[in-house]
């Protein structure tokens, strides 16, 4: 066993003067006594579950175990090529090495970790001596070290390092104590890691649920990306989160949202070329990159004011198609692990489907807008054209009718036949123009009913004028004196009666009788009945015929020309008058069309 040197309590002059702890507390303690103290400290360590709480116990209690001026823990990273420093005594704190990282090829802790062997040495003669590690301690007058592995079974956790301002300070007893200490600390740190891991996973699952809710809450892509980046950053407590979307030309990534510590450094329209940097690589290859030390990754492209040391970038894909990249950066080395990758990949899938939904919604909205515009243009065009058709056609019909009465034409059967044809076809065109105009008006909600007193006989006579182009049918009408007046729109009701009459003629053989009866019903209601002796309509068609473009599909009516619009227009006009219209028909014997109109408009 080595003899202890007389310990000097004074430190060399330095700018920073850390407070020295009383390190003579255990002078004279035997090994057994120190091992008992170790058990007591171990109990204290076992009682806490957080890594930081374990470090607090080490900082406070280790002085009862060993005489030292410096206590430092080297924590091996999960990828095992780096260790991070936790300083646990005032001089160690003063070195500024806390939370710094070293390669395991460097420094005394690196040597201990690599060789899994303890070491007692005097400063510059230490194996693996490095100016950036031991050198820092030497600046504070540290002259000797004791370093032991922190290991439980095969599991390496790191190394524990004691330092002293005296040369040859540490003894074999110190070595035994430090090694046992290293073993106990290893078990506790492993347990703490386990608990921390479990806690992190639970938070990740809860956070994923939270973010899923946000993803389902909006169909606006920009809002969606902004709130998602914010939610990921805050829920997972990441240093900085950015979301990029692929440009339309697929050549660049455009930054769409950012949350975290770098928000003030990149402008809102920041773009990065595909293939450029880590995110560019991810976009190009459609695979994620987990770079826990960006300085070792040649794809990393440094950005001004970013002190990034770890980066995790994941592709956002809809099926096999890339739409964007989720990028997370941290100023710490080894900030991310495979579990982060797994959780964020699930989130990227959800972001992708939310983007797909939002895009679909945008497309449908746009298409709908275009269709509405087109439809109103079309309606406007049709209404202008059909309106302009009617006046010349009316003149042709009037002139044709006048000519038909002419004696010369009456006496020339060929002329008469041609004239008759002109008038009939002009009438059809006129009807078509009128129907088309009515449709566009009805569909654009322009059926304004001007409720006025309507003389029922005048209404029927006006309708008759328009339909009576041949004398092949007998048309009679009868109006109940109590039903002489109604409240409604003369022009529109004329159109209804005219449509029903021309159908009665159209779908009846020559010589058939058409009758119009108008009767009072229930005091305030007038019932119009238009009956013919024509082909009739099978019951299964009765309701359908009032729908737009609906026609009877039977051999006896199929050849008769029509559009299937007349009855629909009648229904719309009657319903706008708060009345009802229906058919009562016996197939092969004739049809009866009935509609009701109020006497008053109340």
- Interacting residues with ligand ADP (CB under 6 A): 499, 503-504, 507, 532, 534-535, 537, 545, 551-552, 557, 562-568, 591
- d(C-alpha 283, C-alpha 276), whole Å: 9
Count of alpha carbons within 13 Å of 541, Cβ hemisphere only?
17
User: What are the tokens at 446?
Assistant: 């322009």
Give whichever of 208 and 517 is closer to ligand ADP, judged by the CB atom: 517
CB-count burial class (<10 Å; 0-12, 13-18, 19+) for 64: middle
Give whichever of 68 and 593 is closer to ligand ADP, judged by the CB atom: 593
Give whichever of 29 and 477 is closer to ligand ADP, judged by the CB atom: 477
Taking the complex as a whole, the smallest distance from the CB of residue 317 to ligand ADP amounts, in Å, to 54
Q: Please check whether residue 236 is in contact with residue 257, taking contact to mean a CB–CB distance below 8 angstroms.
A: no
Taking the complex as a whole, the smallest distance from the CB of residue 574 to ligand ADP amounts, in Å, to 13
Q: Which residues contact 409 (CB under 8 A, 6 or more apart)?
A: 403, 415, 416, 419
Residue with tokens 């080595």: 2
Backbone angles phi, psi at 326, to 5 degrees: -100, 125
CB-count burial class (<10 Å; 0-12, 13-18, 19+) for 52: exposed
What are the contacts of 296-304 at 24+ separation with CB within 8 A? Answer: 301/272, 301/276, 301/277, 303/265, 303/266, 304/265
Q: What CA–CA distances, in Å, run from 237 to 222, 233, 336?
A: 22, 5, 12
Task: Please state at what angle helix 490-506 crosses helix 566-576, rounded to 10 degrees.
Answer: 150
Element (H, E) at 191: helix 172-215
Give whichever of 344 and 581 is closer to ligand ADP, judged by the CB atom: 581
Taking the complex as a whole, the smallest distance from the CB of residue 549 to ligand ADP amounts, in Å, to 8
Give whichever of 284 and 551 is closer to ligand ADP, judged by the CB atom: 551
Taking the complex as a whole, the smallest distance from the CB of residue 584 to ligand ADP amounts, in Å, to 11
Backbone angles phi, psi at 366, to 5 degrees: -65, -45
- d(C-alpha 69, C-alpha 87), whole Å: 12
Q: Please check whether residue 209 is in contact with residue 347, taking contact to mean a CB–CB distance below 8 angstroms.
A: no
Give whichever of 285 and 544 is closer to ligand ADP, judged by the CB atom: 544
Q: Which residues contact 386 (CB under 8 A, 6 or more apart)?
A: 432, 433, 434, 436, 437, 440
Residue with tokens 């719309």: 572
Give whichever of 83 and 507 is closer to ligand ADP, judged by the CB atom: 507
- d(C-alpha 417, C-alpha 404), whole Å: 9
Give whichever of 164 and 591 is closer to ligand ADP, judged by the CB atom: 591
Q: Please check whether residue 584 is in contact with residue 592, taking contact to mean a CB–CB distance below 8 angstroms.
A: yes
Name the residue whose CB lies closest to ligand ADP: 562
Taking the complex as a whole, the smallest distance from the CB of residue 545 to ligand ADP amounts, in Å, to 4
User: What are the tokens at 229?
Assistant: 């980046």
Taking the complex as a whole, the smallest distance from the CB of residue 465 to ligand ADP amounts, in Å, to 19
Taking the complex as a whole, the smallest distance from the CB of residue 436 to ligand ADP amounts, in Å, to 12
Give whichever of 169 and 571 is closer to ligand ADP, judged by the CB atom: 571
Q: Which residues contact 45 (CB under 8 A, 6 or more apart)?
A: 54, 57, 58, 184, 185, 188
Taking the complex as a whole, the smallest distance from the CB of residue 505 to ligand ADP amounts, in Å, to 8
- Continuous H helices in 216-326: 221-236, 277-285
Taking the complex as a whole, the smallest distance from the CB of residue 388 to ligand ADP amounts, in Å, to 22
- d(C-alpha 186, C-alpha 180), whole Å: 10
Give whichever of 55 and 507 is closer to ligand ADP, judged by the CB atom: 507
Give whichever of 240 and 532 is closer to ligand ADP, judged by the CB atom: 532
Taking the complex as a whole, the smallest distance from the CB of residue 477 to ligand ADP amounts, in Å, to 16
Taking the complex as a whole, the smallest distance from the CB of residue 535 to ligand ADP amounts, in Å, to 5
Taking the complex as a whole, the smallest distance from the CB of residue 586 to ligand ADP amounts, in Å, to 11
Give whichever of 245 and 545 is closer to ligand ADP, judged by the CB atom: 545
- d(C-alpha 441, C-alpha 565), whole Å: 13
Taking the complex as a whole, the smallest distance from the CB of residue 432 to ligand ADP amounts, in Å, to 9
In three-state secondary structure terms, 64 is helix
Give whichever of 4 and 506 is closer to ligand ADP, judged by the CB atom: 506
């Amino acid at each position: 066993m080595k003899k202890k040197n007389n310990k000097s309590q004074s430190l060399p002059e330095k700018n920073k003067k850390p407070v020295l702890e009383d390190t003579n507390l255990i002078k004279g303690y035997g090994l057994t006594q120190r091992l008992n103290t170790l058990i007591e400290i171990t109990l204290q360590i076992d009682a806490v579950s957080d890594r930081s709480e374990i470090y607090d116990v080490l900082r406070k209690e280790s002085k009862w175990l060993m005489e030292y001026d410096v206590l430092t823990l080297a924590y091996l990273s999960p990828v095992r090529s780096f260790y991070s420093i936790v300083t646990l005594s005032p001089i160690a704190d003063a070195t500024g090495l806390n939370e710094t990282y070293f390669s395991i090829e460097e420094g005394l802790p690196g040597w201990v970790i690599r060789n899994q062997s303890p070491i007692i040495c005097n400063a510059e003669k230490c194996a693996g001596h490095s100016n950036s590690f031991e050198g820092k301690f030497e600046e504070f007058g540290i002259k000797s070290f004791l370093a032991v592995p922190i290991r439980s079974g095969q599991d390496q956790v790191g190394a524990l390092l004691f330092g002293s301002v005296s040369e040859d300070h540490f003894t074999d007893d110190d070595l035994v104590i430090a090694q046992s200490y290293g073993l106990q600390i290893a078990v506790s740190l492993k347990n703490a890691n386990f608990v921390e891991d479990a806690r992190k996973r639970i938070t990740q699952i809860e956070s994923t649920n939270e973010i899923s809710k946000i993803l389902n809450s909006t169909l606006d892509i920009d809002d969606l990306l902004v709130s998602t980046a914010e939610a990921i950053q805050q829920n997972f407590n990441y240093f900085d989160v950015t979301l990029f979307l692929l440009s339309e030309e697929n050549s660049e990534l455009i930054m769409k949202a950012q949350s975290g510590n770098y928000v003030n450094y990149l402008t809102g329209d920041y773009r990065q070329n595909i293939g450029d940097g880590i995110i560019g690589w991810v976009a190009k290859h459609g695979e994620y990159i987990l770079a826990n030390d960006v300085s070792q990754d040649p794809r990393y492209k440094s950005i001004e004011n970013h002190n990034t040391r770890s980066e995790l970038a994941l592709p956002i894909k809809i099926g096999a198609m890339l739409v964007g990249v989720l990028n997370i950066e941290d100023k710490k080395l080894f900030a991310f692990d495979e579990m982060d990758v797994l959780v964020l990949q699930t989130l990227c899938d959800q972001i992708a489907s939310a983007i797909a939904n939002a895009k679909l919604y945008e497309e449908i909205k746009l298409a709908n807008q275009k269709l509405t515009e087109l439809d109103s243009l079309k309606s406007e065009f049709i209404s202008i054209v059909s309106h302009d058709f009617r006046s010349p056609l009316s003149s042709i019909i009037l002139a044709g009718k006048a000519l038909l009465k002419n004696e010369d034409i009456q006496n020339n059967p060929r002329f008469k036949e041609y004239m008759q044809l002109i008038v009939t076809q002009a009438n059809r065109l006129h009807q078509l123009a009128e129907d088309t105009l009515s449709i566009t008006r009805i569909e654009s909600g322009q059926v304004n009913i001007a409720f006025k007193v309507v003389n029922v006989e005048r209404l029927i006579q006006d309708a008759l004028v328009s339909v009576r182009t041949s004398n092949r049918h007998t048309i009679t009408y009868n109006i109940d004196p109590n039903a002489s007046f109604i409240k409604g729109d003369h022009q529109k009701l004329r159109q209804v009666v005219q449509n029903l009459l021309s159908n009665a003629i159209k779908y009846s053989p020559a010589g058939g009788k058409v009758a119009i009866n108008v009767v009072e019903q229930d005091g305030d209601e007038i019932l119009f009945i238009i009956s013919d002796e024509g082909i009739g309509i099978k019951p299964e068609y009765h309701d359908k015929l009032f729908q737009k473009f609906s026609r009877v599909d039977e051999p006896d009516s199929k050849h008769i020309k029509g559009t299937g619009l007349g009855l629909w227009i009648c229904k719309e006009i009657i319903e706008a008058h708060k009345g009802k219209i229906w058919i009562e028909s016996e197939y092969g014997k004739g049809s009866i069309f009935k509609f009701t109109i109020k006497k008053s408009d109340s």
